[in-house]
Amino acid sequence: MAEVFDNISDELQAFIREQHVFFVATAPLSADGHINLSPKGMDTFRILDANRVAYLDITGSGNETSAHITENGRVTFMFCAFEGPPNIARLYGTGKTVLPADAEWGDLSAHFTPHVGARQIIVADIHRVSTACGYAVPFMDYKAERETLTKYWDAKAETKEDYQRRKNSASIDGLPTPIGAVQEQQEQS
């Protein structure tokens, strides 16, 4: 049964903490812009309180979430039960990007296991929580986290900063990211 709440109940917090994967959805304001939907794992999601969440964002080939929330703030997180009773939880909120140089980084990063590929923390204030049955979501067995990304950054010849400059400064629609804004300021100095 679908239900709507104004915060993340203790029961939903327990459900969310049990999930090995979550999904992040954002979109630009432009009707021609690309909607982004990204799977995340590696134990990077944290519930800070009943209306505030964060995840440690690892450097990857794009940076859509950060660009979109910088433009308009909108973000949705989804959790599906692939094991146990069927359930889906969606968290709707307004997000922001916190970079390693930002004042909030120290307090927020303390919630996460350090990762060599960490690029930013996405923080969101949640104003709507909904659940759905999840009856059509298949059972899937969790085996382990992939080590590919960690090994990639451990062996990468290019620095993380150079990679981010090339791949993470703007969205695929050309929207700037906070990483891109910092890089632009550094180049102008």
Residue-level pLDDT at 111: 98
Q: Which residue has the tokens 């146990």?
A: 84
In degrees and rounded to multiples of 5, residue 92 shows phi and psi of -105, 130
- pLDDT tens for the chain, 189 residues long, are 689 999 999 999 999 999 999 999 999 999 999 999 999 999 999 999 999 999 999 998 899 999 999 999 999 999 999 999 999 999 999 999 999 999 999 999 999 999 999 999 999 999 999 999 999 999 999 999 999 988 888 888 788 888 998 999 999 999 999 999 888 888 887
Residue-level pLDDT at 186: 81
Q: How far apart are alpha carbons 165 and 188 in whole angstroms?
A: 15
The bridge status of strand 22-26 relative to strand 74-80 is antiparallel
CATH-assigned architecture of domain 3-188:
Roll (2.30)
Spell out the domain ranges in the chain: 3-188
Residue-level pLDDT at 160: 86
- For residue 136, what are its two tokens? 């059509």
Answer yes or no: are the C-beta atoms of 47 and 8 closer than 8 Å.
Answer: yes
Residue-level pLDDT at 1: 65
Q: Would you call 2 helix, strand, or coil by DSSP?
A: coil
- The predicted model scores a pTM of 0.94
